Amino acid sequence: MSVITRPWGRLTLAGKIILPLLALMIALPVLLLIGWASGLLPWLLGIGGQLVGDNIDVVRFLLAATAILLFTVPTAFVIIFMEMKIIAFINLRVGPNRIGPWGTLSSVVHGLKVLVKEDYTPTGADPIVFTWAPVVTYLAAVLALLVIPFAPGLVGLDMNIGLLYFFAIAGLSVVGLMMGGWASFNKYSLLGALRATAQVISYELPLLLAPVGVIMLAGTLSLNQIVINQSGNFWNWYVFQQPLAFLIFFIAATAEGNRAPFDLTEADSEIVAGFATEYSGMRFGFFFFAEYVSVFILSALTVVLFLGGWNAPLDIAPLLDFLNISINAAAIDPGGLGMGLLFLVALGVPLAILGLTLVVGMLFSHWGWIKSLVVAFILFNVIVGAAIGLWAYMAFEVVAGLFWFTGKTFTLAFVFVWMRGTLPRVRIDQLMGWAWKWLVEIALLNIFLTAGAILIVQELARA
């Protein structure tokens, strides 16, 4: 065995990864050919297809959960980069500008840095609870995304009680925070966990009471149907029918997501880092990413409930019908060109880039031809990408809905970051008093006012 183990032990980490992959790439085609020739592979495919057909709901759930899990990582990276750049702008600093164009890859490097750091378990900690705490917190944030409708038909699980599911799953995040604080065997961590529990319990009430007015107007708990009810123009959005509920919900969501000025669960000036004091490596990374994923989730839910979801601010269809203008972008079929499409790509693209190079060279004569060519190539790709995006927006309702939904969501995420760079942290007694003395009462008042308005409108309609 030493003949095999000795060379393997001398390999670098990259070699230990690449060598098995090469062996797998060589063995896999051979195994596939043998399985196909023997009839074993078609038999397994038939059984697999039957199992998928019999359990299609389970398979759809697993695929949706996997897709959302993969979606959360780049989303967190984007919000982290936004936070670094926006706060740097507020503080009159440059911010990250070394890694990637304009520092766009800085957040990715931060993620890799967390991944390679030592994962340490302190003496006296409960290792099982200590390890599972960040997993519970992160998965609670991720699974809440299953019922968020991103665009028409683009939703992981369209439930008729989607809003109830969202609050039930999202509320589990505090369980992970409490597990981490208790299992760390650290007084600062325990204080942070107790603060998190008190804060979430307090602000869960106004967070749940605020959308009740929206539910009364929509007549459903389905998030998909709530968005559909806001279709049309921006004055049909519930933010204009429930402005008080929107304000309450936004304040409570800020506290629920542990965002400034309500980030008292990890207040570094008071309790070092709260529940995350003893965490390092990727276990800390799960807590870190969960916070930024929660920013996106809370922004997305606010958009769904109050800001029209995937609906555009203005419905231009009546205007186009009045002007007798018909746009059918889906009828554009590049494949209909046949061989002409091949010549267009092979000859048209280089000629267009060369033409742009001449234009750039004339506008900036002090540049060399290589720099002009590079700028022209980038400009050409931007123009083509914009043209394809515009065609997809007009041709597919899903693309248009996704465009407006992400635009609104990241605008609210920008507001969360803006608040962090502007507002000072409040005291714990101010935080708790604001929830119990003001938000809960105002939320209940909004419910009574909404109910009264609905009754008045119904009576006027009968009259």
Could you write out the three-class secondary structure of 121-165?
A: CCCCCCHHHHHHHHHHHHHHHHHHHHHCCCECCECCCCCCCHHHH
pLDDT category, 363, cuts 50, 70, 90? confident
Give the pLDDT band (50/70/90) at residue 334: low
Which positions ≥6 away from 314 have C-beta within 8 Å? Answer: 233, 234
Question: What's the chain look like in SS3?
Answer: CHHHHHHHHHCCHHHHHHHHHHHHHHHHHHHHHHHHHHCHHHHHHHHHHHHHHHCHHHHHHHHHHHHHHHHHHHHHHHHHHHHHHHHHHHCCCCCCCCCCHHHCCHHHHHHHHHHHCCCCCCCCCCHHHHHHHHHHHHHHHHHHHHHCCCECCECCCCCCCHHHHHHHHHCCHHHHHHHHHHHCCCHHHHHHHHHHHHHHHHHHHHHHHCCHHHHHHHCCCCHHHHHHHCCCCHHHCHHHHCHHHHHHHHHHHHHHCCCCCCCHHHCHHHHCCHHHCCCCHHHHHHHHHHHHHHHHHHHHHHHHHHCCCCCCCCCCHHHHHHCCCCCCHHHCCHHHHCHHHHHHHHHHHHHHHHHHHHHHHHHCCCCCHHHHHHHHHHHHHHHHHHHHHHHHHHHCHHHHHHHHHHHHHHHHHHHHHHHHCCCCCCCHHHHHHHHHHHHHHHHHHHHHHHHHHHHHHHHHHHC
CA angle 163, 393, 108 (to 5 degrees): 70
What's the pLDDT tens digit per position in 416-429?
999 988 888 888 88
CA quadruple 172, 177, 178, 182: dihedral sign: positive
The token pair that represents 193 in the structure block: 């966990």
CA angle in degrees (0–180, nearest 5) for 147-295-200: 85
Lowest mean pLDDT among 38-47, 177-186, 222-231, 373-382: 38-47
The pLDDT-based confidence of 331 (bands split at 50, 70, 90) is: low
Does pLDDT of 110 surpass 60?
A: yes
Using alpha carbons, select from 180, 154, 149, 153 the residue that is nearest to residue 165.
Answer: 149
Q: What is the pLDDT of residue 163?
A: 92
Average pLDDT over residues 137-158: 86
Tens-digit pLDDT profile for residues 270-314: 666 677 788 888 888 888 888 888 899 999 999 999 999 999 998
- Asked if pLDDT for residue 179 goes beyond 80, the answer is yes
Q: Is 90 exposed, middle or buried (0-12, 13-18, 19+ CB in 10 A)?
A: middle
| pLDDT score recorded for residue 91 | 87
- The sign of the torsion formed by the CA atoms of 429, 435, 441, 442 equals positive
Question: What is the per-residue pLDDT for 250?
Answer: 94
The confidence score (pLDDT) of residue 13 equals 62
Sign of CA dihedral 232, 238, 243, 246: negative
Interatomic CA distance for residues 190 and 275, integer angstroms: 6
Q: Contact at 8 Å (CB) between 253 and 305?
A: no
Report which of 47, 151, 117, 101 is spatially closest to residue 288, judged by C-alpha positions.
117
State percent of the chain over pLDDT 70: 89
Weakest mean pLDDT among 70-79, 241-250, 287-296, 358-367: 358-367
- Tell me the CA distances in angstroms from 67 to 60, 113, 275, one per residue in order: 10, 24, 29
CB 199 within 8 A of CB 255: yes
Q: pTM of the entire structure?
A: 0.82
Tokens 């708790």 correspond to what residue? Answer: 432
What pLDDT, on a 0 to 100 scale, did the predictor assign at position 268?
64
Q: Which residue has the tokens 């400009």?
A: 379
pLDDT at 445: 94
| CA separation for the pair 316, 319 (Å, rounded) | 5
Nearest residue to 275 (alpha-carbon basis) of 114, 422, 129: 129
Q: How many residues does the chain have?
A: 463
Choose among 223, 230, 248: nearest CA to 167: 223
What is the per-residue pLDDT for 269? 64
Please check the confidence at residue 187 and state whether its pLDDT lies above 60.
yes
CA separation for the pair 180, 185 (Å, rounded): 9
Choose between 44 and 151: higher pLDDT.
151
Q: What is the mean pLDDT of the chain?
A: 83
- Give CA angle at 87 (83, 93), nearest 5°: 130
Omega within 30 of 0 (cis) for the link into 318: no
Distance CA 238, CA 319 (A): 24
Determine the pLDDT at residue 7: 67
Which two tokens mark 114? 């967390």
Residue 25 binned pLDDT confidence (cut-offs 50, 70, 90):
confident
